[in-house]
Amino acid sequence: MGKLQAVTGNQAVAEAMRQINPDVCAAYPITPSTDIMQRFSQFVADGKVDTELVTVESEHSAMSACIGAVAAGGRVMNATSSQGLALMWEMLHIAAGDRLPIVLALVNRALSAPLNIHGDHSDGMGARDCGWIQLYSENGQEAYDNTIQAVRIAEHEDVRLPAMVCQDGFIISHSIESMEYLDDKVVKDFVGQFKPTHPLLDIDNPVTYGPLVLPDYYMEFKVAQDRAIMNAKKVTLDVAKEFEKISGRSYGLFEDYKLDGAEIVLVVLNSAAGTAKDVIDEYRSKGIKAGLLKPRLFRPFPSAEVAETLKDAKAIAVLDRADSYGGFGPLYMEIAAAMMTNGSKPTLINKIYGLGGRDFFPENAAATLDELKEIAETGKVKNHKEYIGYRG
């Protein structure tokens, strides 16, 4: 067993990075992720890691430097939030398309405007289609565990894709919770040595990265990329099994909480799942068949597995901490598409909550469960999509 600590989510991720000891990190500060690289740069200054820390003039440059460093043959990590991730956007596609396994700590924060520094998922969901693996974390422990596992998933020979590990800004990143660190040697052995595929620093075997690929070949590379990210599902499960052996903590593609025989279900990511679980317990104790599904792996999305797990539910509310304005929330769209793959058709509703760090209270979860109960009984839906927890 490792050491029990009282730490913040950011502290936990910085500690994971120290234990992973990457070859290169490129950093540019942005709230609320700043703290991760600030702590990590202290590790660099104190000689506790062998990392080359590259300070850059923007997040676009940070991701560009990461891409160059991993193509050169190094293990590379980085951290960002919100506008920082948005500024990286074009480079995110390049990291994925060039099949470069960078691990990025994403501390979820609302996108401007209006300017806001608090936690919501609009940054991560905005990067949904960039080809990165996305792991979401409920608390600091999960953020720490996911960071260590992400290295193995991203670098696996069947995958070779970048991965981002998401946690809620401030709610998790700056809140102290009790959690367990693994021993340095255990983490070192678990992540192993980075094995580059076509390192630019191998000067005896020169290669070209990033050539022009015209219509005669572009599709083939995209097929390969899609197969690779779909492989990440199995790899995530395999890595989780190994991780359980060293940590005693078990992870899947998603967490199913009291879903056995559940008729009404909440689907929710990250920290709000913790709040909602308490309410599920309360409803279960009243004899109401309520359950919760918390996706962990959002990209690739485990559609078939989610659909199989939720097939007997009568009514499902998908809670999104981001919106696709004029459409449904991104998590809702994923769940709705998943439920079409096996023909089961529970009634689905979409709630947009907690934007810009607005608190998600137990009563928000309770009101949604009450609405689901009514839908399950009457089959009638008042609103397919609505915002909750606002004035007016």
Partner 1 sequence: MKLKNWKELALGSVIPEAGNADTYNTGSWRTFRPERVEENCINCLFCWVYCPDSSVIVKDEKMSGFDYEHCKGCGICEHQCPGKKGNKAIKMVEEGK
- C-beta of 50 vs 216, nearer to partner 1: 216
- Closest Cα to residue 365, out of 264, 275, 245, 243? 275
Contact between 248 and partner 1 per CB under 8 A: no
Dihedral pair phi/psi, residue 345, rounded to 5°: -130, 70
230 in contact with partner 1 (CB under 8 A)? no
Query: Residue 331 CA to chain centroid, in angstroms?
Result: 12
DSSP letters spanning 130-164: GS-EEEE-SSHHHHHHHHHHHHHHHHSTTT---EE
Which residue, 208 or 378, has its beta carbon nearer to partner 1? 208
359 binds partner 1, rule: CB under 8 A: no
220 counts as binding partner 1 under rule CB under 8 A = yes
**Whether 229 contacts 159, CB under 8 Å:** yes
Rounded CA-CA distance 335/306 in Å is 8
Nearest CB to partner 1, comparing residues 99 and 109: 99
Strands 133-136 and 297-299: antiparallel
Would you count residue 202 as binding partner 1 (CB under 8 A)?
no
**Residue 205 vs 378, nearer CB to partner 1:** 205
Size of the site for partner 1 (CB under 8 A): 23
Sign of the four-CA dihedral 105, 269, 172, 180: negative
> Binding marks (x or -) toward partner 1, 110..149, rule CB under 8 A?
----------------------------------------
Alpha carbon distance, N-terminus to C-terminus of the chain: 51
206 binds partner 1 (CB under 8 A): yes
C-alpha to C-alpha distance for 294 and 315, rounded to whole angstroms: 16
Binders of partner 1 among residues 170 to 199 (CB under 8 A) are 197-198
| 122 and 355 Cβ atoms separated by less than 8 Å | yes
Q: Given candidates 37, 77, 86, 100, which one binds partner 1 under the rule CB under 8 A? A: 100
Site for partner 1 in 292-321 (CB under 8 A): none
Question: Which listed residue (45, 224, 340, 381) binds partner 1 by CB under 8 A?
Answer: 224
Q: How far is the CB of 105 from partner 1 (least distance, A)?
A: 23
Footprint on this chain of partner 1 (rule: CB under 8 A): 97-100, 160, 197-198, 205-211, 213, 216-217, 219-221, 223-224, 227
